[in-house]
């Protein structure tokens, strides 16, 4: 019976995500409606309390952002060396895509080297990373080194005319409303119209008045996916001191930040994971056609969202 999946300790991560997605796709539903839906959906003897529903919804953004392979890795304590983990994950994504060899000793050495150059307030521990730490870190990324050869992206090649025709015929199987494409660009929101922008150093950070914006739309223009915006600061001045989550929810966008305001493959992966869950609530399948930009280099994707 379905009720066996709801333990005495409460609902599973997957069930909590389903409740959040149901609330998001049906904004008119009250918490009482959600409780009755959960009772019917999971076959429990009574609906969850309003406190339980409220507590689940208060963590909606955090829950929806989880990847499926992370469900079993949820821990109460916060992870250490958060900045190091972000940098290391991005490096591993790019290395896997470029077919560079990756081993546990290489990861250990890279993690230690990163730890040494990070600011003191971003370092925790003594800079030593065990085999167990590396394996757990790879597990959270859903990367299996024992099967890495099968997961490596094949080297890029020039498409022939016949191969392009094959792709066109493949896409004809799908409705235009289910075929999407996306791209990102810099938005200089304080650049006067009578001025031009030049870079003397291409590797330099973008100006602080610039944002990276990623937009996605289907081929017939009938639907646009949630924009992804990357800024320099976690809290922009225009937020007026409000949490970024409240601002982004209000305007229907995803907001991330880093020093250069550049879109990374990790951010793109997180955006795809949220999109994947929103598609799953209606059992919808779509095609996303992307280019080979470094920010799109995500080696591991779930079945619902496929990379072509």
Q: Is the pTM of this model over 0.85?
A: no
Least confident of 98-107, 153-162, 279-288: 153-162
Tokens representing 7? 């333990």
- pLDDT for 15: 87
**pLDDT for the residue 102:** 81
pLDDT digits (tens, 9 = 90+) for 223-263: 999 999 999 888 877 777 777 777 887 888 999 988 888 89
Domain(s) of CATH 1.10.10: residues in the chain = 2-64
- 9-61 pLDDT, tens digit each: 478 888 888 898 888 888 889 999 999 999 888 888 888 998 899 889 888 88
Q: Rounded CA gap, 191 and 189, in Å?
A: 6
What is the residue-averaged pLDDT of the chain?
80
Q: Please give the full DSSP string across 31-97, using - where no structure is assigned.
A: HHHHHHHHHHHHT-SSPPPHHHHHHHHHTHHHHHT--GGGGGG--SSPPS-HHHHHHHHHHHHHHHH
Start-end of H helices in 153-236: 161-171
Using 50, 70 and 90 to split pLDDT, how confident is the model at 108?
very high
Please give the pLDDT value at position 200. Answer: 55
C-alpha–C-alpha distance, residues 127 and 131, integer Å: 13
Topology of the domain comprising 2-64: Arc Repressor Mutant, subunit A (1.10.10)
Q: What is the DSSP letter of 205?
A: P
Cα dist from 130 to 70, 78, 123, 134, 135, whole Å:
21, 18, 16, 6, 9
Residue-level pLDDT at 243: 78
What tens digit of pLDDT does each residue of 149-195 get? 555 555 556 678 888 888 889 999 999 999 999 999 988 877 666 66
pLDDT at position 79 is 73
Residue 204 predicted with pLDDT over 70: no
Calculate mean pLDDT across residues 55-82: 71
Assigned token pair, 13: 């991560």
């Amino acid at each position: 019976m379905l009720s066996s999946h709801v333990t005495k300790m409460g609902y599973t991560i997957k069930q909590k995500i389903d409740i959040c997605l149901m609330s998001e796709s049906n904004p008119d539903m009250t918490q009482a409606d959600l409780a009755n839906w959960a009772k019917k959906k999971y076959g429990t003897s009574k609906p969850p309390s309003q406190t339980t529903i409220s507590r689940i919804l208060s963590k909606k953004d955090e829950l929806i952002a989880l990847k499926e392979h992370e469900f079993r890795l949820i821990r109460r304590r916060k992870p250490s060396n958060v900045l190091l983990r972000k940098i290391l994950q991005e490096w591993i994504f790019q290395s896997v895509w470029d077919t560079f060899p990756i081993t546990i000793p290489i990861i250990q050495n890279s993690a230690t080297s990163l730890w040494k150059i990070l600011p003191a307030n971003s370092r925790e521990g003594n800079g030593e990373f065990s085999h167990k730490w590396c394996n757990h870190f790879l597990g959270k990324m859903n990367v299996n080194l024992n099967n890495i050869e099968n997961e490596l992206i094949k080297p890029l090649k020039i498409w022939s005319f016949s191969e392009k025709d094959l792709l066109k015929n493949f896409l004809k199987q799908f409705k235009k409303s289910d075929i999407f494409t996306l791209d990102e660009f810099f938005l200089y929101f304080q650049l006067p119209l009578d001025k031009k922008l030049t870079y003397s150093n291409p590797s330099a950070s973008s100006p602080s008045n610039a944002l990276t914006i990623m937009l996605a739309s289907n081929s017939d223009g009938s639907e646009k996916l949630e924009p992804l915006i990357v800024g320099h600061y976690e809290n922009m001045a225009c937020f007026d001191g409000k949490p970024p989550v409240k601002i982004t929810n209000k305007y229907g966008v995803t907001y991330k930040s880093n020093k250069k305001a550049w879109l990374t493959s990790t951010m793109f992966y997180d955006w795809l994971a949220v999109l994947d869950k929103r598609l799953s609530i209606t059992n919808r399948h779509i095609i996303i056609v992307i280019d080979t930009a470094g920010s799109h280099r995500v080696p591991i994707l779930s079945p619902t969202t496929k990379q072509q």
